[in-house]
Structure 1
Amino acid sequence: MSTRQLAIAFVTLGTLWGSSFVAIDLGLPYFPPLEFAGLRFLIAGVVILAYAWLTTPRWRPRGRREWTLAGVAGAFLIGGHHSFLYLGQQYLSGAVAAIVVSLGPVLTALFAVAILDAHLSALDGLGFAFGLFGVLLVAQPGIAEESSLPLAERIAALDPGALLAGDMTGIVLVFFAAASFALGGVLTRTIETTLPMRTVQAWAMLIGAALLMLTGGLRGESLAAIRWTPTAGISLLYLGLVSGAGAFLIYFTLLDRLGPAQVNLIGYLEPAAATVLSWLVLGQLIDTLTALGFAAIIAGFVCIQRRSLVNLFVRQSSPTSD
């Protein structure tokens, strides 16, 4: 692939994953949330498993270590992450949820310190502070929803203590979604195998789908409660086939060509795509304070991932980078 084709694939993937937040918004009125998520990844997992069977020499895990990897990925990256995300999006718009989820790389660095004994510098600490401040700006505790205060006064009126007293259900749930994904990403680093990434992802989706549907059943959710309408069917198929299986096929290509450090930058294209699509499809807009929160989270990411970003830009500026 040429540099232009890689750039197009990168933007396409970010747009597809950003659009998933909007598709979830569209589908949630018709589905119990966890059964909705479970069905999505059942569809995507079957497609990716078929792809792994056709394109890799190893289409299923073997041995305890490989099944542990698939299980951890399924439990945290798929099951835990999407259970909290789908529950949280009952209270938040997809655009706001995407911004909170973008805190994931910052939380990943924090878990790496705790689990992998990574070094924490002063600039890393500043990055964490930026990330948490960004979430505070998105949550806007202590500020009435209908408040028309000027921007500076809205920031001054933020009350961190109100995070516990107010109705922050959606923000807290989506924060846990980001934390689950970050924790899963760190835990999977500790399990080294030769299992192809496509196979790992396929089984993670299927295990995650089973866990989501089981948890939904324990919550009293039922597939019988689904209201099948054209919107419900389109949102499910879109999430399962387009922003699920289709997007992951693009992801595998980019992962092979660019590596995980560069591909992870897609996480910061997703909220922008989700915001634009939420406006176009649902008429939803984020306010200025929420946009500033996203900027603060990006600043936190830059502080923590500064070395990887410098190496990335140096490599891209090299005459042999293509």
Structure 2
Amino acid sequence: MISADSIPEGYREAVLFSILALCWGSSFVAIEIGLEYVPPLLFAGFRYAIAGAIVFGYAAVVSDRIRPVGRAEWTAVAVAGVFVIALYHGLLYLGELYVSGAVAATIVSTAPILTVAFAGVLLPEERLAPAGIAGFALGLVGVIAVVQPDSVGLGSDVAAGAVLVFGSAVAFALGGVLVRPIDSALPIETLQAWAMLVGSGVLLGWAFLRGESVAAIELTSAMVLSFGYLTLVSGAFAFFLYFELLERTGATQVILVSYAEPVVAMGVSWIALGHLVDSLTLVGLVTILAGFVVIKRDALRSLLRSALERRSTTAP
């Protein structure tokens, strides 16, 4: 695990959360930069081949099993690898050929809402309540505000890119729901490592079918920095933080990173590329966040109550 002993106890979760949001939010801008020099699917495939190998080594150290056993565990690996790694990143990288990293991050922030919607349809015990439907509708309104179809045109490259990015959020959410009913005791570190390796194989096969060539890669300093950052920082290191934060706080708080990522992406995009998002993009992000709050209001209320109780017990 990433050691957090040097961080004061009362601030550890907030610091880990902030670093994770910075790593994953900035990755959208790093992708935007790297796509100037590397074909999209090769870019994603090579990134996760290396990151998967690193996480696999980490899993070998911290977990009691490094290999799936039985049909259920291999099915979980396949679902996570195909949907959460390959389809999510493949569609995201293709979409970022046409839309900025900040816009892509905002559209991807619908993934938690889509997860609840898919769970309500596919898992009988999680049927969507009226408030959930309202939250889902708010999320879609937020995406429309970000894309602004009236101004860009439904047949434009920007609209096509937005559809691809939204498809990546759909793939991520659907994969997360499909893996839930699978009876698997595989440690999360091992599952993530195998999913990365399987996903990278699918991405590289997809790149071959699409006609992408290694010869098309331009080896520049910007490309090396982008690829290295995405592989080592936003990939391997960020997942170590994710495991640490998941163990400390649970899934609900980790999901909230999705709503910090677009803010980070907007800031990094402005600093690194001089790009500013318009007011409708900000309105879209707030609307998507509102939809999530409506859906997860009980869990968020419980999370806030727990945080206040911890603070009161640790106060001098």
TM-score, with length taken from structure 2: 0.93
Quick one: which of 199, 204, 210 aligns to 2:195? 204
> Aligned ranges for residues 210-249 of structure 1 at < 5 Å?
210-249=201-240
**2:139 paired residue among 116, 131, 135:** 131
Q: Can you give the 5+ residue segments of structure 1 that lack an aligned partner in the other structure?
A: 145-161
Q: Gaps (5+ residues) in structure 2?
A: none
Partner residue in 2 for 1:4: 11
| 8 Å CA contact 2:121, 2:128 repeated in 1 | no
* CA distances 1:106-138 after superposition (whole Å, capped 9, x unpaired): 111110111102222221121111111001101
Matches within 5 A, 1:50-129: 50-117=57-124, 118-129=126-137
- Deviation for aligned residue 1:204: 0.4
TM-score by length of 1: 0.92
- CA offsets 1:18-57 (integer angstroms, 9 cap, x no match): 0100110110011110000001101110000000011111
Show the 5 A alignment for 1:187-202. 187-202=178-193
In structure 2, what is the equivalent of residue 308 of structure 1? Answer: 299
Q: CA deviation at 1:166?
A: 4.6
**Aligned counterparts of 1:272 and 1:231: Cα–Cα separation in 2:** 23
Segments of 4+ in structure 1 off by > 6 A? none
The one of 19, 24, 33 equivalent to 1:26 is: 33
Q: In the alignment, which of 177, 188, 196 is matched to residue 186 of structure 1?
A: 177
3-state SS of paired residue (2:184): coil
After superposition, what is the alpha-carbon deviation per residue over 1:254-284, rounded to whole angstroms, capped at 9, x for unaligned?
A: 0111111111110111000000000000111
Number of positions where the alignment pairs a residue of Structure 1 with one of Structure 2 = 304
**Residue in 2 that maps onto 1:158:** none
Check whether the contact 1:315–1:321 (CA below 8 A) recurs between aligned residues. no
Is 1:15 equivalent to 2:22 in the alignment?
Answer: yes
Task: Give the whole-Å Cα distance in 2 for the aligned partners of 1:222 and 1:242.
Answer: 26
Letter matched to residue 136 of structure 1 = I
Distance in 2, matches of 1:211 and 1:223, equals: 16
Q: Which amino acid aligns with 2:173?
A: A
What secondary structure, in the 3-state scheme, does the structure 2 residue paired with 1:143 have?
helix
Report the alpha carbon displacement of residue 195 of structure 1 after superposing the two structures with TM.
0.9
The answer for the alignment partner of 2:47 in structure 1 is 40
Matches within 5 A, 1:147-166: 163=154, 165-166=155-156
Give the 3-state SS of the residue equivalent to 1:269 in structure 2: helix
The aligned counterpart of 2:276 is 285
Counterparts of 2:203 and 2:57, CA distance in 1: 21
The alpha carbon displacement at 1:321 in A equals 7.2
- In the other structure, the counterpart of 1:295 is 286
Give me the whole-angstrom Cα distance separating, in 2, the residues matched to 1:179 and 1:135.
13
Decide whether the 8 Å contact of 1:138 with 1:290 is kept in 2: yes
Is the CA contact 1:279–1:285 (under 8 Å) kept in the aligned structure 2?
yes
Q: Aligned to 1:4, what secondary structure does the other structure show?
A: helix
Contact 1:25 1:94 in 2 (8 A): yes
Aligned residue in 2 for 1:147: none
Q: What whole-Å deviation, never above 9, does each CA across 1:173-192 have from its counterpart, x for those lacking one?
A: 00000000000010111112
Is the 1:45–1:205 contact (alpha carbons within 8 Å) kept by the matching residues of 2?
yes
- Tell whether the 8 Å contact from 2:246 to 2:254 is kept in structure 1 after alignment: yes
Q: Percent identity?
A: 49
Aligned counterparts of 1:166 and 1:253: Cα–Cα separation in 2? 42
Conserved? CA contact 1:141–1:166, under 8 Å:
no
Cα shift at 1:288: 0.2
